[in-house]
Amino acid sequence: MKNQTYSGHQAAAIVGISYRQLDYWARTNLIRPSAADASGSGSRRQYSYKDLLELKVVKKLLDSGIKLTSVRDVFAYMREHVDTEISSAHIVIDGSSVILCDGDNLVDVVRHGQGVLNVLPLSGVKDEVDKQIVSLDFASKSRDGDQDGGSRRAV
């Protein structure tokens, strides 16, 4: 399935858009077919599986109320700054803002990187606290042992 190519009509049907919309996106360089681009009269575009994923992301962004100009900004930013496949990215939509979760950063890609927020991963908090408790407990026991000459305390 991933190595197969799809005609423009197949791609449009799979993604859930009109062929006319697909054609417009290709002609305006939003999503170009990577398998085979139209190169004259009678030639046909061929879309890859990756192209289908990108087309579906465009459709989902548009369906969420994001303007086409902003969708173009999102894809321009992602192509320049995101190393992974677009389908593995995490996007948060807040009104007209599109925020890309890139590692530990949240970037508003519509406002061209303005409003960068840091994500505080809470998964490591428990481990940090546990480690500090063990460290503090160890230091406390060492200090108590030194104060009473190394003797043991009765419990």
Into how many domains does the chain fold? 2
For residue 31, the domain's CATH number is 1.10.1660.10
pLDDT tens digits for 91-134?
888 777 888 887 777 788 877 655 555 555 666 777 778 888 88
Q: Who wins on pLDDT, 90 or 149?
A: 90
**148 — pLDDT class (breaks 50, 70, 90):** low
93 in a structural domain: no
34 in a structural domain: yes
Domain, as residue range, for 26? 1-63
Domain boundary among 47, 63, 79: 63
Domain boundary among 13, 43, 63: 63
| pLDDT at position 155 | 46
3 in a structural domain: yes
Spatial separation of the C-alpha atoms in residues 122 and 92, rounded to whole Å: 19
At residue 28, does pLDDT exceed 80? yes
102 in a structural domain: no
88 in a structural domain: no
83 in a structural domain: no
pLDDT tens digits for 44-85?
889 999 899 999 999 999 998 899 999 998 888 888 877 777
36 in a structural domain: yes
At residue 150, does pLDDT exceed 70? no
Give yes or no for a contact between 23 and 8, defined as CB atoms under 8 angstroms apart.
Answer: yes
26-35, long-range: CB < 8 A, 24+ apart: 30/58, 30/68, 30/71, 30/72, 30/75, 31/55, 31/58, 31/75, 33/8, 35/5, 35/6
Q: Who wins on pLDDT, 122 or 40?
A: 122
Is 0.75 topped by the overall pTM? Answer: no
State phi, psi for 69 to the nearest 5 degrees.
-65, -35
| The most confident of 9-13, 89-93, 131-135, by mean pLDDT | 9-13
Domain boundary among 63, 84, 101: 63
155 in a structural domain: yes
